[in-house]
Chain A
Amino acid sequence: MSPLSAMSASRSSEQTGASRPPAALEVESLTVRYGRVHALTDLSFAAAPGELVLILGTNGAGKSSAVNATAGLVAPFAGRIRVGGRDVTRQPAHRRVRSGVSLVPEGRGPLPGISVRDNLELGYRARPRGKRSEPYEDAVERIFALFPILEQRLKQDCGTLSGGEMQMLAIGRALLADPAVLLLDEPSLGLAPKPVAQVYEALDACAASGLTLVIIEQKSVPLRTEPALTMVLHNGRVIDRRRHARPSDGELAELYMGGMA
């Protein structure tokens, strides 16, 4: 039994009302511009509940703009974002968390001076009151099952964690908000192969538990779960899109280099 199954079970029961469940996340013609810089142009995709979407691209390809706009941190220039069928495009970031979208930001978002325990509690407190029927102790227990190291580090200032531990804390913190969709901005960034493997093992467990995941990365990652959709971004546009298949490292290199011409 996956450590996260309780969360997903409660969610799927909410969605059985409709004959065909709406997509957990639907992004339609999303366009992000910073002044005259066109960061992202016309990105569209949908993820059914429990699906995993992988977005690959080099620096400046528009990956972060895509997830930041989905999380509400950046106002899109155009396009719509729907979560569970509900339009959240105009919702500010802090309310979108309550709508079920959690972001693990690039660089893991350490909060130096705040203990691991308080970090986790901040995550739990992002839940809307209606979702707090599950006590904090039980919720955090599941996070410890996923990342045992966090239990040993509870009292530590999170500024003293290693990169891998901080990434695990950032994911645990986001999961405690009980999201329907978890967005991860380069979770492997700056980590050694071993912590990358640990982090992805946990993400595989999340995927198996029925959580909808959107992961962005620069290069291929040790993900066991086959993404339902893999897209490659270049200069803000999708240049490669595959369902239930990932480009090989060779193809990826080709796409990155070829796209430059």
Chain B
Amino acid sequence: MNRPLKLLLIADSDSQLLACEALCRCQTARPVEFTINVIPRDGTPQHILQRMGHLGTLWRQNLARLLNNPKLLQFDAVGVFLTGSKLNDIRIALERHQQRPKLFCGFNGVVLEHFVEGISWRLGYDLICLSGPRDRDALNQLVAKTPFAQQQTVLTGLQRNGTIEALSPAGQRPKRLVFAEQVVMPSSARDRAEMVKILAELAIRSPNWEVLIKPRITPGDATFHDVDTHISTTLSQTLGVPPVNLKLDYRPLPDLLRKAPLMATISSTAFFDALDFGCRPIAMNDLGLHASHGSHVFAGSGVWRSLRDVPNLDELEQEHPEPNPEWLNWMGYSERYGAGDLFEALENLKPASTTGITHCGYPTNTQSSFNQLRVGAEAAICTGDWRGAADLLTQAAQMRPQHRGVARRVAAVSCQNPLLRRIGLILSYRDLG
């Protein structure tokens, strides 16, 4: 009964690591032993890795090595916080085993885009973690009347920082507004410049306040999205010399939020972190209602408002802006939803299936990943299943007819002469990682 639940969490990019961190920090009566495998990747922020190291055993294995690690099967459950085809690679690798750990996966934070694609990659996992009723309703509507209608989900919520001790009252905090910058929301240089300009004007109207822009990443760090221009460059290009009370601040977000009475963002998940740290969040609406900004989600927050129209931050603070509790609950910010529910759901899950998911007429993205087709073909080649390999590679060639590597591989496996086939396979071999 008291045996700890042994969990392996797999992640690569920084936002995925933050989701894993939130799980590890969950305070629960159930003992849980965490191992976190961070897939090596250039630019992974060191400070996050250091924090992860204190929360469990830290592994740094690439996917190919990890999937061949016999210790993988010793975990009770494996949580995958990756994107796209990598979700498949792990699920399919584990489904080859008669007895395998239970498999779960997450959607990170507030899902603003690509929900249908995201779900399609995740179908077939024993358990999909979602943030709140909003996500669950959307998933249920999507899979209703399909063979996936029984897909298991659990709501793990958006209270990611647990109970925070010794928070100082807002009135005793330094007069600061923390702005949580996002790398691609907004994405256009024009909108980003406009955003910075609005913050600068607010800082000028509020000389007794500090406006601190918390960059999502430090220059040179990598994140899930490709970033052309770091916010520090946008700041200097837009303002030349910014007002003295408008600054970039690279300290960890929790440190900033616990010492500020107000925060603002376009649509960052930090909105919910601010609530954890007793900081009042505002969702900035000055750039309009655009799906690509995530503003359609935050428009219902009750605090979606114009910073351009705020006379000064003293007046904003005195208003005591409070998010709409109904919206918070809908999004998943409630004590009702937490990682503890995940651990309980994992224990209550039926033994893991080894059969996978195939339903005529309902392929998921599992069967349509270019990379997965190539990996599957290599597995078939290893067992001498030339027909199977040719089938998979032919589909890959169908998807990308001009991919020379795949074309050469198809030609090699289709060769009837064993000697020529062997030579062709040697010449066309590529390490797929």
- Genuine A/B complex: no
* Interfacial residues, chain B to chain A (CB-CB below 8 A): none
